[in-house]
Amino acid sequence: MKVYATEDIRNVVLMGHGSVGKTTLGEAALFVSGAVTRMGSVEEGNTVSDYDDDEHKRKFSLNLALLPVEWEGRKINLIDTPGYADFVSEVICGAQAADLALIVLDAVSGPEVGTDRAWQIAERLKLPRLIVVNRMDRENANFAGVLAAAQQRWGTKVAPLQLPIGSHETFTGLVDLLHMKAYMGDRAEEADVPAALREEAESLRSSLIEAIVETDEDLMTKYFADEALTEEELARALHGGLDQGLIIPVVCTAAAKQTGVRRLLQVIAASGPSPADREPIAAGDASLVARSDGPVAALVFKTAADPYVGKLTYLRLISGTVTSDSHLWNANKGADERLGTLYLQRGKEQEPIAKLSAGDIGAVAKLAHTATGDTLCAKEQQFVLPGIAFPNPVHSMAVRPASKAAVDKLGPSLQRLLEEDPGLRLTRDSATGEVILSGLGDAHLDVTIERLKRKFNVDVELSLPRVPYRETIAKKGTADYTHKKQTGGHGQYARVALEISPLARGAGLQFSERVVGGSVPREFIPAVEKGVLETAREGVVAGYELTDCQVVLFDGKHHPVDSSEMSFKLAASQALKEAVAGASSTLLEPIMPSGSAPLKQTLTTSSVTSTRAAPRSTASTLMVA
């Protein structure tokens, strides 16, 4: 593909609820533009976008995919994203690299939960929007109903740019309301507006013109002066209004049949914003605009692992020009990166390209230090672009290697998956010692586990994270335990008497001694303490750490030959267990830090203060070598 100038680039993210036809729309765009010679389908598992085995298996998208097409002198970088909620990080990454959001609606169900999620992301990133009512060939397709629902949800700036001709089996084309022409079939053959639709088209056109006029003062003046408005003027104002988010045009398609797809590409090419139309991006004190002669600044919006070229880094060039075989500086990591070949990425395929103009999207392989959200720039002129904000994980499972072979491979393999998937988190729960994998839902973790197996042949088991309960006591207890093994040869002997008493919540476990007369020689007291602390850590009653009590060694006995540190440690351990057994042991459940709803109290009145027993949220992050 040739190198396109910034003004001729369109970065367009496909967003919306699951299963509304985003991937199919991308596939149809590739097909009608000639980028592919055969149209694949999600059912057959041969679309360019859903190339991952897990996507084939599930028949829905899990990753974002780049689908660049050329149309009417423009390079349209379509970015397909998943509709399934668990994979929203991919949607956020895709939207971060785009200048226009295509909000895809189903022609029967209209706006849905996933649509609202997509809308919020586009709103937060201030992305101009275009609404596509797809699957018009379905039974009960209802363009007018969907349009009304969209206007109700998002206001009058939602305006129809097209009127479908027919629906379901009779959906054969559409009327372009701006030019008042009909475009028939998958090849969008130009025709007159069908007489039966003329009246409806006229009335819709006037509401479209009103919506366009409202975005442009000069045009407003002419309009109210009843002066005629030319199509060029309207097209220019539509472009401006769309770019500023003042108007949200609605078009219609049946992607599976490619009907309406050529006109959609035409609308994007003619009216969609180019990177040069976007607001300057603040990077520290600097303010960057999409100029190829400007300083180099690129945002990394995706990291993928390719079986052939290895780690792939997707970047959106905010400013400047980047060429193959050059060096860039990772401003976040403070490290040099050698860029090998620059690629145009289409699905899983790479096509080498010489350079990228400002505003364009490309990929490079094998960067050493760079992760999603980083900025690449020139070492001499450094910028840090605003990073990418990801939602906090909501679903956590403990992960364990399922076989000996998996033990060493687990850490590095999970790290690789974390690089690719910013929605994942890996932590170690300092309270239970478990490795916790967190994500945006159970499907998210299931897919991650399958990828571990498929990509790295690592078998793991997932289980609900252990709640870091604690054990404590509700009343005083004592125990006097003798450990004795004297069956000839070097025997073992130690007698330990302990007293335990409850302490305030959060006090932890405290050990002290008030041995008199050397009943327990000084050198063995540390062994007693060690025995007490180890047993407390393992838990006495239910295997949870014993806490918030005072343990006092107050008496004991030793044997001049058979006593040793080991025998006193063992005796201390047993003595503690016996003391707890008589002191009304209690299970404590962690409570969330203040301000969050406390978990239900366990058996007794007292509950853990957050200082001693670390609730899950304070778990430390695991660094895998």
Ligand X SMILES: Nc1nc2c(ncn2[C@@H]2O[C@H](COP(=O)(O)OP(=O)(O)OP(=O)(O)O)[C@@H](O)[C@H]2O)c(=O)[nH]1
Helix (H) or strand (E) holding 65: strand 65-71
Q: Are 314 and 283 in contact (CB under 8 A)?
A: no
Which stretch, 17-25, 89-97, 291-299, 588-596, contacts ligand X (CB under 6 A)?
17-25
User: Is residue 137 involved in binding ligand X (CB under 6 A)?
Assistant: yes
DSSP 424-490: -EEEE-TTT--EEEEESSHHHHHHHHHHHHHHH---EEEEPPPP--EEEESS-EEEEEEEEE-SSSS
User: Is residue 20 involved in binding ligand X (CB under 6 A)?
Assistant: yes
Which stretch, 80-88, 94-102, 208-216, 340-348, contacts ligand X (CB under 6 A)?
80-88
User: Is residue 460 involved in binding ligand X (CB under 6 A)?
Assistant: no
Residue 84: name its binding partner from ligand X, Mg ion, none (Cβ under 5 to 8 Å by kind): ligand X
Q: In this complex, which beta carbon is closest to ligand X, that of residue 71 or of residue 171?
A: 171
User: Is residue 347 involved in binding ligand X (CB under 6 A)?
Assistant: no
Which stretch, 91-99, 132-140, 262-270, 336-344, contacts ligand X (CB under 6 A)?
132-140
The binder of ligand X chosen from 4, 31, 71, 84 (CB under 6 A): 84
- Residue of minimal Cβ distance to ligand X: 83
Residue ranges in contact with Mg ion by CB under 5 A: 22-23, 61
In the chain, the N- to C-terminal Cα span, in Å, equals 41
Instruction: Give the per-residue SS3 of 266-321.
Output: HHHHHHCCCHHHCCCEEECCEEECCCCCCCCEEEEEEEEEECCCEEEEEEEEEECC
Q: In this complex, which beta carbon is closest to ligand X, that of residue 19 or of residue 142?
A: 19
Q: In this complex, which beta carbon is closest to ligand X, that of residue 20 or of residue 342?
A: 20
The binder of ligand X chosen from 6, 19, 330, 574 (CB under 6 A): 19
Residue 79: name its binding partner from Mg ion, ligand X, none (Cβ under 5 to 8 Å by kind): none
CB of 14 to ligand X, least distance (A): 8
Binding mask 48-77 for ligand X (x = CB under 6 A): ------------xx----------------
Residues 6+ apart with CB under 8 A from 366: 309, 310, 311, 340
CB of 50 to ligand X, least distance (A): 7
The binder of ligand X chosen from 255, 265, 452, 591 (CB under 6 A): 255
Which stretch, 4-12, 37-45, 299-307, 545-553, contacts ligand X (CB under 6 A)?
37-45
Helix (H) or strand (E) holding 221: helix 217-224
CB of 118 to Mg ion, least distance (A): 12
Q: Are 214 and 240 in contact (CB under 8 A)?
A: no
Beta bridge partners of 13: 79, 101
- Quote the tokens at residue 514: 């008030």
Q: Closest by alpha carbon to 278, among 290, 286, 269?
A: 290
Q: In this complex, which beta carbon is closest to ligand X, that of residue 114 or of residue 465?
A: 114
CB of 65 to Mg ion, least distance (A): 9
Residues 6+ apart with CB under 8 A from 201: 163, 175, 177, 180, 193
CB of 200 to ligand X, least distance (A): 23
The binder of ligand X chosen from 82, 240, 362, 439 (CB under 6 A): 82
Residue that has been written with the tokens 């030019």 in this structure? 179
User: Is residue 143 involved in binding ligand X (CB under 6 A)?
Assistant: no
User: Is residue 552 involved in binding ligand X (CB under 6 A)?
Assistant: no
If one counts every other C-beta atom within 10 angstroms of the C-beta of residue 154, the result is 17
Task: State the helix-helix crossing angle for 113-124 and 88-96, rounded to 10 degrees.
Answer: 40
User: Is residue 426 involved in binding ligand X (CB under 6 A)?
Assistant: no
DSSP one-letter code for 14: E
Provide the pairing of β-strand 477-485 with 492-502. Answer: antiparallel
User: Is residue 256 involved in binding ligand X (CB under 6 A)?
Assistant: yes
User: Is residue 103 involved in binding ligand X (CB under 6 A)?
Assistant: no
Q: In this complex, which beta carbon is closest to Mg ion, that of residue 90 or of residue 555?
A: 90
Beta bridge partners of 172: none
Footprint of ligand X (CB under 6 A): 18-24, 41-43, 60-61, 82-84, 134-135, 137-138, 254-256
